[in-house]
């Protein structure tokens, strides 16, 4: 009996110390901005997941500028936060400021994008998808959809220099290189925004016989795809049938477009990047457990047949 009581007391004490411990943690998060529906959801999930664990979260919005992110990281270092989370707008130029964080013993966690540094001890872990795989899944879906017929693809790339744009492009390109009927005829950045996606798609349509020469759009995110859908409709064509649409993220609006027959496929990217990072941080602070360098999130492609169900699920995901 005494043994049982002691064990219960020990478990309760451990749980209590875990939650009390997390409540002592402050995380500074340098977020890129709010260029897409996915990005806004990531921010909102970062807040709710912090609340669940009793972590204090400070968010700085960089408005798409790396210089603002670097300033934010320096400010978090000066404030002596317990950890810094960064969603990096571009992949280069992070070495010096990450050295500063390391010199101050502040672990850095990368969310949703990778960086280009020689020394990977400058960050603790990167919580992100395999973005090459995302591009590959989109390409394989299209190869299968066109079934051997010739298909001219236009590509709306994400932010220039962002790891995800580089990787998604690579994954798509490599996968279609084995299909001689598929060709990327135009490619340009739509900066991951709906308005720029629409603008760039307008120019593609004008340059390609009012869109008649275009078979499919590969957009590096759903927001640009939605902008492209608007342009296609304005040109008098039917998105989803005259021009196929495949994109990445899985935001509610793309599932709505699928239900309207205007989009064909999306590769889902979870907006919950912060949750696994908080858990890794807590473990690290508790007993020194070092997480794997890459905590990989799942990449899954969805088509219109599951759009209704996916849309319902999104409500619980911070959208
Ligand atoms: O890094 C993830 C990408 O950034 C998302 O796919 C895009 O919507 C976002 O803005």
Instruction: State which of 192, 246, 272, 274 you would mutate to test the pocket of ligand 1, scoring each by most atoms of that ligand within 8 A of its C-beta.
Output: 192
| Averaged pLDDT, 38-59 | 97
For every residue of the chain, which 3-state class applies, written as one string?
A: CHHHHHHHHHHHHHHHHHHHHHHCCEEEEEECCCCCHHHHHHHHHHHHHHHHHCCEEEEEECCCCHHHHHHHHHHHHHHCCCEEEECCCCCCCCHHHHHHHHHCCCCEEEECCCCCCCCHHHCCEEEEECHHHHHHHHHHHHHHHHCCCCEEEEEEECCCCCHHHHHHHHHHHHHHCCCCCEEEEEEEECCCCHHHHHHHHHHHHHHCHHHCCCCEEEECCHHHHHHHHHHHHHCCCCECCCEEEEEEECCHHHHHHHHCCCCCEEEECCCCCHHHHHHHHHHHHHHCCCCCCEEEECCEEECHHHHHHHHHHHHHHCC
| pLDDT band at residue 58 using 50, 70 and 90 as cut-offs | very high
Question: What residue's CA is closest to ligand 1, atom 7?
Answer: 221
Report CA(133)–ligand 1 centroid distance (Å).
15
192 Cα nearest atom in ligand 1: 10
pLDDT at 18: 52
pLDDT value at residue 300:
98
Domains and CATH numbers, the chain: 2-128+271-296 (3.40.50.2300), 131-270+306-311 (3.40.50.2300)
Please give the C-alpha separations between residue 220 and each of 54, 162, 226, 257, in angstroms, as whole numbers.
34, 11, 11, 16
Pocket of ligand 1, beta carbon within 6 A: 35-36, 38-39, 112-113, 164, 192, 221, 223, 248-249, 269
pLDDT digits (tens, 9 = 90+) for 165-199: 999 999 999 999 999 999 999 999 999 999 999 99
- Indicate which residue's Cα is closest to atom 4 of ligand 1: 39
Model pTM score: 0.93
CA 191 to ligand 1 center in whole angstroms: 10
Ligand 1 centroid – CA 313 distance (Å): 19
Tokens matching residue 68? 């603002």
Contact 162/91 with Cβ under 8 angstroms? yes
- pLDDT tens digits, one per residue of 7-24: 444 444 444 445 557 779
Compute, in angstroms, the gap from residue 116 CA to the centroid of ligand 1. Answer: 18
What are 235-275's pLDDT values in tens digits? 999 999 999 999 999 999 999 999 999 999 999 999 999 99
CA of 239 to the centre of ligand 1 (A): 22
Atom of ligand 1 nearest to the CA of 222: 8
CA 261–ligand 1 middle distance (angstroms): 24
Residue to mutate (ligand 1; options 31, 38, 165; most atoms within 8 A of CB): 38
Sort 85 into a burial class: Cβ within 10 Å, 0-12 / 13-18 / 19+.
Answer: buried
pLDDT tens for each residue of 117-157 = 999 999 999 999 999 999 999 999 999 999 999 999 999 99
Whole-number percent of the chain with pLDDT over 90: 91
Average of per-residue pLDDT across 55-83: 98
Distance, CA 159 to ligand 1 centroid (Å)? 9
- Say what the alpha-carbon torsion angle 28, 34, 38, 39 is, to the nearest 10 degrees: -20
Q: Mean pLDDT throughout 85-111?
A: 98
- Within 10 Å of residue 173's Cβ, how many Cβ atoms? 16
pLDDT at 7: 44
- Mean pLDDT within 213-221: 98
Measured by CA distance, the residue closest to atom 9 of ligand 1 is 39
pLDDT attached to residue 314:
92
pLDDT at 16: 47
pLDDT the model gives residue 19: 56
Contact 266, 301 (CB under 8 A): yes
Question: Sorting pLDDT into bands at 50, 70 and 90, what band is 100?
Answer: very high
Confidence check: pLDDT of 6 > 60: no
> pLDDT value at position 20?
52
Q: What percentage of the chain carries pLDDT values higher than 70?
A: 93
């Amino acid at each position: 009996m005494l043994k049982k009581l002691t064990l219960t007391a020990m478990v309760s004490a451990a749980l209590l110390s875990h939650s009390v411990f997390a409540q002592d943690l402050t995380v500074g998060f340098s977020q890129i901005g709010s260029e897409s529906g996915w990005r806004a959801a990531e921010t909102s999930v970062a807040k709710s997941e912090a609340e669940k664990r009793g972590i204090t979260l400070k968010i700085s919005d960089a408005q798409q500028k790396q210089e603002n992110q670097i300033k934010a990281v320096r400010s978090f270092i000066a404030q002596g936060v317990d950890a810094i989370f960064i969603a990096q707008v571009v992949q280069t130029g992070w070495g010096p400021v990450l050295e500063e964080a390391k010199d101050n013993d502040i672990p850095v966690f990368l969310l949703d994008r990778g960086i280009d540094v020689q020394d990977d001890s400058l960050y603790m872990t990167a919580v992100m998808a395999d973005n090459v795989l995302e591009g590959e899944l989109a390409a394989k879906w299209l190869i299968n959809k066109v079934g051997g017929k010739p298909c001219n693809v236009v590509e709306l790339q994400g932010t220039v220099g962002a790891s995800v744009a580089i990787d998604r492009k690579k994954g798509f390109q490599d996968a279609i290189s084995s299909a001689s009927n598929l060709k990327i005829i135009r490619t340009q950045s739509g900066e991951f925004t709906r308005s720029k996606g629409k603008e760039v798609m307008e120019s593609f349509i004008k340059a390609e016989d009012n869109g008649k020469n275009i078979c499919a759009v590969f957009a590096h995110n759903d927001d640009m795809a939605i902008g492209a859908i608007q342009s296609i409709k304005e040109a008098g064509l039917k998105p989803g049938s005259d021009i196929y649409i495949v994109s990445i993220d899985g935001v509610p609006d793309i599932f709505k477009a699928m239900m309207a027959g205007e989009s064909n496929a999306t590769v889902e990217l979870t907006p919950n990047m912060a949750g696994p990072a908080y858990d890794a941080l807590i473990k690290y602070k508790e007993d020194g457990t070092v997480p794997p360098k890459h905590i990989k999130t799942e990449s899954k492609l969805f088509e219109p047949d599951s759009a209704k169900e996916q849309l319902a699920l999104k409500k619980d995901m911070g959208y």
